[in-house]
Amino acid sequence: MPHQHALILLRFIIVGVIAGIFSGWYWGEAMVEIAWLGKLFLNALKMMIIPLILAAVISGVAALGDIRKLGRTGGITLVYYLITTAIAVLIGLVMVNLIQPGVGLNIESAGLSESIAAKQDIGVSDILLSMVSPNLVASAAEMQLLPLILFAIVFSAALTTLGRTGEHVILFFNGVNQAMMKLVTWLMYFAPVGIFALIAGRLGQAGGGDAFLNEIQAVGLYIGTVLSGLAIHFVVLFSILFFIGGRGTDYLVGMLRALLTAFGTASSSATLPLTMECARENKVDERAVRFVLPLGSTVNMDGTALYEAVAVMFIAQAYGIELGLGPQIIILVTATMAAIGAAGIPEAGLVTMVIVLNAVGLPLEGIGLLLSVDWFLDRFRTSVNVWGDSVGATVVHRFLPGEGKHGIVETDRRRS
């Protein structure tokens, strides 16, 4: 898509977001009527994900060349994920200790919701287990992307060892990848309407602006803590983009369509097709786009990690339980793991928070305090999640062998 088109589309998407907030706010429940338009957009995005991920990761890993380069790129990617996620948790911890949003709160716990109750025993080993699927088709059907991605990585690594036979298969997936890219550019034109309907519909479901304000009043300080932490982390990521990724505001503007889609859908996975398309348009190396972004959309969730740390400390404060340095270090580690384990779908972070609560021995019922506003915070943390992935792609791009040759797989060059 030519640059000019992208900017026009971005303007329409911004109008969609603003119009969505206004109409959901004022017309409230009436907007639930149009929520199906948002669902249509979301479904179309989800429809793309499985073929897109398989084709992108297989052709992307193959484009890295031999397996040693995969090791290096994978190493840099994982280090980036871990460091930025840990920074996010640290920022969350500092903010929640400074602001103390839970202190003095009147606890009327809403009890355990069903989705949480079912996950009471989830632990770190479950996250590791979820990485390898006994049934790839079932994983795909349930949108569990991590085992699919890991399979695609090793599958592609195997292809690169097969010589000519492997090349045929890689060419096939290159073709699938290009076709998927084309579909995504078409779907993008529907984004302004889709995002408008998603936001208006959700606010409508919450009963409109006044009902929403009532809902958030009790936990206003908590919301403020999460949002200010996310804002700080956004800026930290921007500095990483600037100093390590070697990019600036043009990249941020270029990624805005994806960030706003993340805000509208509250799902990193559903946003992935757009994240990849925007990064590609912004001249991030194809290999980084196809390797870092799919993996990042399910593994690298800075916003979720930050939010989990704040939420858990908030619950402790609300129950009047003092958590010293030791337990906070446990939170640092487990919140990072919980964010890695969270799927890129709406409110997944709320469920994996169980890991963190269990680790520091807090009552799971505390989650009841956060339920009503989670859909709202989810949108912000998902945008930060996608921003973290986008910055990661530029960082890995910098360290790629033969850096500078954008879109190194010749057959993938697109006519614009």
Residues that bind ligand ASP (CB under 6 A): 266-268, 301, 304, 342, 344-349, 378, 381-382, 385
By beta-carbon proximity to ligand ASP, the closer residue of 74 and 344 is 344
Answer for the pair 195, 20: CB distance below 8 angstroms, yes or no: yes
> In whole angstroms, how close is the CB of 202 to ligand ASP at the nearest point?
13
Answer for the pair 142, 149: CB distance below 8 angstroms, yes or no: no
d(CA 340, CA 335): 9
By beta-carbon proximity to ligand ASP, the closer residue of 133 and 385 is 385
> In whole angstroms, how close is the CB of 160 to ligand ASP at the nearest point?
31
Indicate if the alpha-carbon torsion angle 244, 246, 250, 251 is positive or negative.
Answer: negative
Residue 337's alpha-carbon distances to 95, 352, 381, in angstroms, are 20, 9, 16
Answer for the pair 407, 284: CB distance below 8 angstroms, yes or no: no
What sections of 206-347 are H helices per DSSP?
Answer: 208-217, 220-240, 249-265, 268-281, 286-299, 302-318, 325-341
> In whole angstroms, how close is the CB of 108 to ligand ASP at the nearest point?
24
Residue whose tokens read 């550019």: 185
Nearest residue to ligand ASP on Cβ basis: 349
> In whole angstroms, how close is the CB of 347 to ligand ASP at the nearest point?
5
Contacts of 386 by beta carbon, 8 Å cutoff, 6+ apart: 255, 258, 259, 262, 268, 271, 275, 297
> In whole angstroms, how close is the CB of 86 to ligand ASP at the nearest point?
17
> In whole angstroms, how close is the CB of 266 to ligand ASP at the nearest point?
5
By beta-carbon proximity to ligand ASP, the closer residue of 343 and 396 is 343
> In whole angstroms, how close is the CB of 292 to ligand ASP at the nearest point?
15
Among candidate residues 216, 198, 384, the one with its CA nearest the CA of residue 308 = 384
Angle between helices 164-188 and 35-63 (to 10 degrees): 150
By beta-carbon proximity to ligand ASP, the closer residue of 327 and 344 is 344
By beta-carbon proximity to ligand ASP, the closer residue of 139 and 383 is 383
By beta-carbon proximity to ligand ASP, the closer residue of 28 and 194 is 194
d(CA 360, CA 378): 23
By beta-carbon proximity to ligand ASP, the closer residue of 73 and 385 is 385
